[in-house]
């Protein structure tokens, strides 16, 4: 008989904590529910390790452990899938970690695996060991591993986690790939136009002065723009992207700034729709994966909120969390937030009624992944001719402005 420590919500939505004795985690959850409480977190009680126990960031032996930095998502996905295969084959966790450590190239992931293996060898569970390195294994990762440990299905949970990470990375790559082309074209166009205005156009200005004729309006406008660029305006043109990037970073340092920036992104034409749908797909897949793994819904919503990547959605999920804690449904607070389409709300509502919320959220994620892919492909095809038209217009304006005075001079000479 093991002792389990639990955190739960009582019938009036107040948090409660306690301990229960049960042979398995499922029996412990059943006992907590029999008390009239809704469990949000449950785990085996750790053995005492001396007075005070290990401090924060320390291993089970009380020694200070250094937390590793971020790990590339691709490598972490490969590690997750390989660990799932080894666990499914019946290998003990510690031996599986040692095997994967030897296979890794020198880097942050290899260090992380070694430290996790050391903690597991000292008596920690896999989820507890990983939780000591939040930059390498985030809250979503560690909570799913913990759910797999409690349910005795760690290999299946790791497989689902690897699938989730692959789909999330694929969606992110599609959006980034769609943005590379226009950003590259705009950057090169800006550099070329700046060079023309700074070095080429001033040479024509001397020719026009020798002609001693009245210049057309477009030519005067081009020469004034060239003077502005040559007089230091090129610094402004080239520094504008840097200023925008710095302002974006500054806004992200505060919750209010992140909210304003994310609100602005959602309001952009076309791109705002892509951001909205990709965020819906992300939070739906995250929440659905957590619920499928057996993570309690309130804790799953908290994790989804923290990993949503969008402050507007994070605040809406916070209201959903508060509504569920007070006895409301999932769909109603989400409907009031007005950040997702009615179809999503209705599918979630049906999922709640049928008891298959996790499956319905996964279907929503699959649907929106397909929509994002379609939108990205359409935007890419639309941007290419649009960029050609814009560049053609800029070059055409410069050519016409430079040659109109010469054409006028030739006409005047022919008239004589």
Q: What is the pLDDT of residue 56?
A: 47
pLDDT digits (tens, 9 = 90+) for 280-297: 888 888 888 888 877 788
Note whether residue 296 is domain-resident: yes
Note whether residue 157 is domain-resident: no
Residue 201 and residue 341 share a domain: yes
Which residue range forms the structural domain that includes residue 183?
164-416
Q: Which of 40-49, 60-69, 80-89 has the lowest mean pLDDT?
A: 60-69
Residue 86 and residue 13 share a domain: no
Q: What is the pLDDT of residue 115?
A: 92
Q: What is the reported pTM? A: 0.64
Note whether residue 240 is domain-resident: yes
CATH number, domain at 87?
1.20.81.30
Note whether residue 127 is domain-resident: yes
Summarize the confidence of residues 266-277 as an average pLDDT.
84
* Domain end call among 137, 156, 175: 137
pLDDT digits (tens, 9 = 90+) for 127-137: 888 888 888 88
Note whether residue 52 is domain-resident: no
Note whether residue 154 is domain-resident: no
CATH number, domain at 17?
3.10.20
Q: What is the pLDDT of residue 411?
A: 66
pLDDT digits (tens, 9 = 90+) for 55-73: 445 555 545 556 677 888 8
Residue 177 and residue 216 share a domain: yes
Residue 200 and residue 70 share a domain: no
Q: What is the pLDDT of residue 144?
A: 79
Residue 174 and residue 106 share a domain: no
Q: What is the pLDDT of residue 51?
A: 42
Note whether residue 145 is domain-resident: no
Number of domains comprising the chain? 3
pLDDT digits (tens, 9 = 90+) for 302-329: 888 877 778 888 888 888 888 888 877 7
Residue 129 and residue 5 share a domain: no
Q: What's the chain's average pLDDT?
A: 80
Q: What is the pLDDT of residue 198?
A: 78
Residue 388 and residue 252 share a domain: yes
Q: What is the pLDDT of residue 14?
A: 67
Q: 């989400």: which residue's tokens?
A: 334
Note whether residue 368 is domain-resident: yes
Residue 43 and residue 68 share a domain: no
Taking 60 as the threshold, does the pLDDT of residue 105 lie above it?
A: yes
Best-predicted range by mean pLDDT among 21-30, 129-138, 176-185, 209-218?
Answer: 129-138
Residue 395 and residue 254 share a domain: yes
Residue 341 and residue 197 share a domain: yes
Residue 239 and residue 113 share a domain: no
Residue 280 and residue 407 share a domain: yes
Give the CA distances from residue 284 to residues 28, 199, 264, 279, 372, in Å, rounded to whole numbers and listed in that order.
28, 53, 22, 8, 14
Write a three-state SS string for the chain.
CEEEEEEEECCCCCEEEEEEEECCHHHHHHHHHHCCCEEEEEEECCCCCCCCCCCCCECCCCCECCCCCCCCHHHHHHHHHHHHHHHHCCCCHHHHHHHHHHHCCCCHHHHHHHHHHHHHHCCCCHHHHHHCCCCCCCHHHHHHHHHHHHHCCHHHHHHHHHHHHHHHHHHHHHHHHHHHHHHHHHHHHHHHHHHHHHHHHHHHHHHHHHHCCCCCHHHHHHHHHHHHHHHHHHHHHHHHHHHHHHHHHHHCCCHHHHHHHHHHHHHCCCHHHHHHHHHHHHHHHHHHHHHHCCCCHHHHHHHHHHCCCCHHHHHHHHHHHHHHHCCCCCHHHHHHHCCCCHHHHHHHHHHHHHCCHHHHHHHHHHHHHHHHHHHHHHHHHHHHHHHHHHHHHHHHHHHHHHHHHHHHHHHHHHHC
């Amino acid at each position: 008989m093991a002792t389990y420590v639990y955190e739960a919500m009582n019938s009036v939505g107040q948090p409660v904590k306690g301990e229960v004795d049960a042979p398995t985690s499922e029996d412990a959850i059943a006992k907590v529910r029999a008390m009239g409480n809704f469990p949000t977190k449950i785990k085996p009680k750790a053995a005492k390790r001396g007075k005070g126990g290990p401090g924060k960031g320390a291993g089970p032996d009380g020694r200070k452990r250094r937390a590793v930095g971020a790990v590339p998502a691709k490598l972490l996905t490969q590690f997750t899938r390989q660990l799932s295969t080894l666990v499914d084959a019946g290998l003990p966790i510690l031996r599986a970690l040692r095997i994967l450590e030897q296979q890794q190239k020198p880097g942050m992931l290899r260090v992380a695996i070694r430290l996790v293996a050391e903690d597991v060898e000292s008596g920690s569970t896999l989820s507890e060991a990983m939780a000591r390195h939040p930059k390498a294994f985030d809250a979503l990762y560690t909570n799913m591993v913990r759910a797999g440990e409690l349910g005795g299905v760690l290999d299946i949970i790791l497989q689902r986690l690897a699938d989730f990470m692959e789909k999330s990375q694929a969606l992110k790559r599609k959006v980034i790939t769609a943005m590379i082309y226009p950003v590259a074209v705009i950057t090169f166009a800006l550099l070329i136009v700046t060079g023309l205005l700074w070095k080429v156009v001033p040479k024509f200005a001397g020719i026009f002065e020798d002609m001693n004729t009245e210049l057309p309006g477009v030519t005067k406008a081009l020469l004034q723009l060239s003077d502005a660029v040559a007089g230091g305006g090129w610094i402004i043109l080239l520094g504008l992207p840097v200023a925008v990037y710095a302002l974006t970073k500054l806004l992200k340092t505060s919750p209010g700034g992140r909210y304003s920036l994310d609100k602005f992104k959602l309001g952009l034409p076309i791109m705002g729709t892509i951001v909205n749908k990709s965020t819906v797909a992300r939070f739906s897949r995250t929440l659905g994966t957590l619920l499928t793994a057996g993570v309690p819904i309130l804790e799953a919503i908290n994790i989804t909120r923290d990993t949503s990547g969008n402050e507007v959605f994070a605040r809406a999920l916070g209201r959903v969390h508060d509504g569920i804690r007070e006895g409301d449904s999932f769909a109603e607070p989400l409907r009031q937030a007005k950040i997702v389409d009615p179809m999503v709300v209705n599918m979630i509502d049906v999922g709640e009624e049928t008891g298959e919320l996790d499956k319905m959220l996964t279907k929503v994620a699959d649907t929106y992944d397909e929509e994002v892919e379609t939108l990205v492909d359409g935007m890419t095809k639309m941007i290419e001719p649009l960029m050609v038209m814009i560049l053609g217009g800029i070059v055409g304006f410069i050519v016409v402005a430079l040659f109109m005075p010469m054409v006028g001079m030739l006409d005047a000479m022919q008239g004589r």
